[in-house]
């Protein structure tokens, strides 16, 4: 448990600036953003590192077509398959103050998590169960918001319905891995 907690903390500290970049540059969208591609690449690196090793990679993030490239270097010590931890940390990011009140960004993050969930190996892990638990918490909150704001012409209601659908799909894909 101590090793798992240490790995999760390290991974979270490495990913926080990456997620902040995705938030500030609006990179979560699957059409215009690079978040899904970057995280899928990172997930593949984490899944391949089955033996104790130093994991490092260079990821190029394109800010826009005619501007500059930001280079992110990810390097940390890994003790095993941490691809499940990546999912868990990503789901926890839904509670971050820069994302919490933005349903469109939340939907995009959850869709990214769903893509990552499709690539995770089938195994029961504490990280996957924690991610499912967090997603169910968000689904409950979303359902409460729908019950309180039941006007069908409201854009908020439509976004909340999309959020619920995204949460349900992600929970479905993750629960199939356990």
Query: 97-152 pLDDT, tens per residue?
Result: 989 889 999 999 999 999 999 988 887 788 888 899 999 999 999 898 887 776 55
pLDDT for position 75: 44
Contact between 176 and 131 under an 8 Å Cβ cutoff? The reply is no
DSSP 84: H
pLDDT for position 2: 47
Q: How far does CA 132 lie from the centroid of its chain?
A: 12
Q: Report the alpha-carbon angle 17-18-19, nearest 5.
A: 90
The structure's pTM equals 0.79
pLDDT for position 172: 95
pLDDT for position 153: 59
């Amino acid at each position: 448990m101590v090793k798992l907690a240490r790995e999760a903390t390290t991974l979270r500290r490495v990913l926080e600036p990456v997620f902040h970049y995705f938030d500030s540059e609006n990179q979560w969208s699957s059409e215009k953003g690079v978040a899904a591609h970057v995280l899928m690449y990172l997930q593949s690196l984490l899944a391949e590192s089955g033996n104790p090793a130093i994991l490092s990679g260079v990821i190029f993030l394109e800010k826009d077509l005619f501007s500059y490239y930001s280079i992110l270097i990810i390097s940390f010590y890994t003790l095993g398959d941490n691809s499940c931890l990546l999912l868990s940390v990503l789901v926890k990011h839904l509670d971050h103050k820069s994302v919490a009140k933005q349903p469109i960004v939340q939907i995009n993050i959850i869709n990214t998590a769903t893509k990552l969930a499709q690539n995770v190996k089938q195994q029961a892990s504490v990280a996957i169960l924690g991610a499912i638990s967090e997603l169910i918490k968000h689904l409950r909150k979303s359902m409460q918001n729908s019950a309180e704001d039941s006007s069908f012409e409201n854009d908020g209601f439509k976004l909340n319905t999309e959020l619920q659908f995204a949460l349900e799909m992600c929970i479905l894909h993750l629960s199939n891995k356990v």
